[in-house]
Structure 1
Amino acid sequence: MTLFKTNLLAVTVSMLALAACSPGNQDRDQHSTGAAPHSDTDGAQHEGNLEDNHAEPGGRGANPEVHLSEDQFSALGITVEAVTTGAVDGVLELPGEVGFDQNHLAHVSPRVSGVVQSVSVAEGDRVEAGDILAILNSRPLADAKAAYLSARARLDLAESSYQREERLWERQISAEQDFLNARQALEEARIVVRSAGQQLDALGVDASTLPRVNATTNLSLTRYELAAPIAGTIIERHAVLGEVLEEGGQPPAFIIANTSSVWVDAAIYGGDLGRLRAGAAVSIDPGDGVAPIESTIDFVSPQIGERTRTGRARVVIANAGDRLRPGMFVTVFAVASDAVSVVRVPVSALQTIDGRSVVFVRSDDGFEVRSVQLGRRSEQFAEILSGVSPSELIAITGTFSLKAELQKGEFDDGHAH
């Protein structure tokens, strides 16, 4: 009887347990607690939506893009350049000044004194080599031309006398001594002409251009043409009508400069003098908001400035568009000899989105937002450990505007971060 009661109790407990696990009871439990039914498939779909809504900017296939028209591209002031390699640490920041390239600068003064009769150029005028800048009346020039013309006339006479004496001596009509005297006179006349011609050449006059003259020839010997020795721009003019210009006088009558090439001289402080060499890469920032000018050091002076106590590094720049103007102060970032080359981007190319550093990589119709991992960083450059590769095109200016455009588009879609 006891065994029967025990078995009956066990059966009752089992039936109650099965009833508790039935689908109907599960539905009632869910309705009582307010929980909605879900499946494993629904859970997977929910996790996938979370990944899409919070995709990292650097994730493959999930990089957001900013689409721009050509008008927007220009209006936002975006500059695109390729990712490069170079130094981040070991870059020296040096003050620099732009100056004229002395190989393309000319001080123009007359080689003989004279009175200014006319001036044909003004400051700012563009001239070519050989153009006439001014015309002078010069008495010393007239004396030099007269001496040359007189010497050449005596040479013509000496040549005639020599030819006559040579014929007479060959016919045994004239004495040999007369022939020798005529030949000596001819050589002396040639020497005098050569000397007078060199005098004119020193004054800037081509003697071969002077016509043959006689006593009745009406030729002005005082005209002196002051010509441009190089092509360039008149940056200073000191010659005025009626002024007496002296040979080698100061200031010069004109100064001509060709600014298609300029020099940038950077000051090197004591501790860094041994760290820079000719050929080192430099980046020159004129402070105009445009991409820096990349070049190399052409010359490092071995001399220390007496007043400044600094060294000097010179960079010769091809100055297309006159972006650099003599007298400007610039900042020169020079790569020291102990610097290490890495993949780098300008700091201006970086933005932060969702707490991650990103760059904007050029695409067919805009920019792809690419997450990057940064290494070392200086005021000008940041090292890239991963995310972009050398030669990829990225925006280096206007990136804040690109970020604003991206977030504006996300807000319009209801997904602003």
Structure 2
Amino acid sequence: MNHHELRSFHDGGGADPGRPASHEPPPGADLMNLVRWALFAGLLVLAAVSIGSYVMSRREAPGSAHTQKRARYYCPMHPSYTSDRPGECPICGMTLEPIPSGGIAAASAGATGTGDVPGLTTVHITPERVQLIGVRTAVVEKRPLAGRVEMAGFVTADEARLKRIQLRVAGWVQDLYLNQTGQAVAVGDPLLSIYSPELYQSEQEYLIEIGARDSTTAAPHDGGGHEAGAASSARTRLILLGVPPEELKRLDRTQVASAHLTLRSPVVGTVLERGVTQGQYVAADTPLFTVADFARVWVLADLYELDFGRVRVGDRAIFTADALPGQPREGSIELVSPVVSTGTRTLKARFSLDNHDGRLRPGMFGRVAVAGRGGQALVVPDEAVIHSGEHDYVFLARAGGHFEPRLVWTGSRDGDRIQVLKGVAAGDTVVASASFLIDSESRLKAAIAGLGGASGAGSMPGMDMSAPPAPGHAH
């Protein structure tokens, strides 16, 4: 068998020529067909599910809008939290606010003002950062202030109990019995003795008129009435010159004129001023001594002009001296001065206190508490107000985590609250804690914006410090 015959044999040449060749599928072909159809069926199911989900989402869109309308309140600090009823945010405890007509996004967009505090600007803080730094907010309230007003006060002499002692004749001081201030005197105590030729001449004239009167009485004639009247006029002159009754009695008894006169105290009290020395020549207009009776004293309190309307005449006042702690003394307001001091911007409120024990001394300082009359006022927590030395301001908590600096004018304090006269309105939300962190970030952002810094400048984590790009700058 040659080569061609052998190949023909292997190719089936030896088979029956009338029988066609066999083409059987390879092993595993049926399994592969089954897997192919299974994948095709899965793709059809997946396509059907996708189309169904899309159709269902389109059908549920009106229902979603209806659900959003039911959410009427939201948290300005966490806008993602909404509710259909008023209350507090469970995340930060802030009071929920009504959703504005434009929606929460519109409220967030409207809270991008820069504020009115020089050197500060509005800063944005993420909710996570708000929780981390412990920001706490409070709502500006309008409520009656407590009537109690605290003031600084001091003790001074009662002007109605001040006495100025002077002579009515001129002369020279011979003896000075009261030679230092602070000495206590009683009625009748000798103060000084004076040598006065004027007094001697007046007494001599009185004695002459007495002699003429007595001689007329012994020998009556038509001029007796004239001499009696002249004697009475001379005696009245001595009284007007300040000659005391005991000196007049001595003069009537001895009939001897004297150029010396002892001046005695007409009042009781303490010498505050001494304007005379021994041997000095004094006239009728020379102030000798000023004596004050401290049995009753005045207390003058500094009332700030912001509290003018809270203190009235007749209000109960309690004074506690710093030197006498735990010993309050009570009085009532007698006068509120109509004049404001241009230096301190205060006026004086005055009341009197009994001081028979002498423990209150002029010049003593202390605290005055007045049960004044409070009215309705806007108040915020005292810690919410930042005092920079030049301005007082707060940070308003806006929607979407924006904090806006706002200038305020403050009034009186009421415990841990402080009155705000201008700058905020009732219902505004202010930062009540961690203000210094927000203040620092606001200053830094304002400084970077002022220097034209790039928006990629570093900032504290969680705080947005990006400034809007300047016109014409590409980013």
**TM-score, normalised via structure 2 length:** 0.44
Structure with more relative contact order (C-alpha pairs < 8 Å, separation 6 or more): 1
